[in-house]
Amino acid sequence: MDFSKGVLFDPGYSKYTVSFSQNIDAAYGVLFSIKSPHQRKFKFQMIYPQLLKLLEHTVSFYLGCLLWATYISESFQNEPKDIIGNDYLGQKVNQEQILFEVNYAMSYFDKLKKDCKYYLNKECKLPDEWLNILNVYKAFLIKNDYLVNAKTTSDIKLPQQIKAVSKKDLNLVLDKIEEVVKTGELKNLFSVINLILD
C-alpha cells in the first residue's frame, strides 16, 4: 500500500461487506413464512450453514477494522498520517445507529444458540473469540467517539484489550490485510488475531 499521501480509512474491506441485520432478517423472514413446524425445522437445517458463514464474515470484518486501526495507529506514531475517506469526520452521529450492527451481531449469538437447540436439537458451539472481537470493536468505537474526530493516525486510540505489537508483527498484519483485500476472504484475518488479541 502507498502511504505517501496518507492512509485510507478503509483499506478495501467495504466492498466485501454486507448488512448483517438485513441478511439475518431476510433469512428469518423466509423461515417464518413456512407454516409447518416440521418444514420450518428442515428449512433451518438448510440455512444454518449460511447463518454461521454470515456471522463469521461479519466478525471477520470487525476483526479487520481492529487490525487496520492497530496497524495505522502504531506504525505512524512518530510521523502521523492524514486519514483519507473518513465519512464520519466532523459529523454528528447517532450512537444507537452507529452501534446498531455490532449490537445486533452480539445479541444474535444467544438467539442462534437457542435456535440450534430448538430447530436442530443440538448445542451450537460458537468460538469465544468471535464475541470477544465484537466487544473489543464496540469498545474501540466508543473510545474513539465513533471516529468523528479521526483526522490523522495519531487520533486513533486503541482499547486496552489490544496488545502492544512489534514492528515485525505490524508488517505481518499489513501483509495479511493486503492479501484479504485482494481475495475478499476476510475470515483469513483470523490467522493473525493472536498478534493483537489474547
Mean pLDDT by 10 residues, the chain (198 residues): 96 95 97 95 96 97 98 96 96 94 97 96 94 98 97 98 97 98 97 97
Mean pLDDT of the chain: 96
Which of 143, 177, 168, 174 is CA-nearest to residue 157? 143
pLDDT reported for residue 151: 98
Contact 7, 184 (CB under 8 A): no
- pLDDT at residue 5, as a whole number: 95
Q: What are phi and psi of 14, to 5 degrees?
A: -60, -30
What pTM was computed for the model?
0.96
Residues 8 and 69: beta-carbon distance below 8 Å: no
**Residue 146 CA: distances (Å) to CA of 19, 59, 94, 134, 170:** 18, 18, 9, 15, 24
From the list 112, 120, 128, the residue with the least C-alpha distance to 53 is 112
If you write DSSP's letter for every residue of 31-42 in order, what string do you get? HHT---HHHHHH
Report how far residue 113's alpha carbon sits from residue 126's, in angstroms, rounded to the nearest whole number: 8
**How many whole angstroms separate alpha carbon 45 and alpha carbon 22?**
20
End-to-end Cα separation, the chain, in angstroms? 27
Q: 196: Cβ–Cβ under 8 A, 6 or more apart, which residues?
A: 66, 67, 70, 162, 163, 165, 173
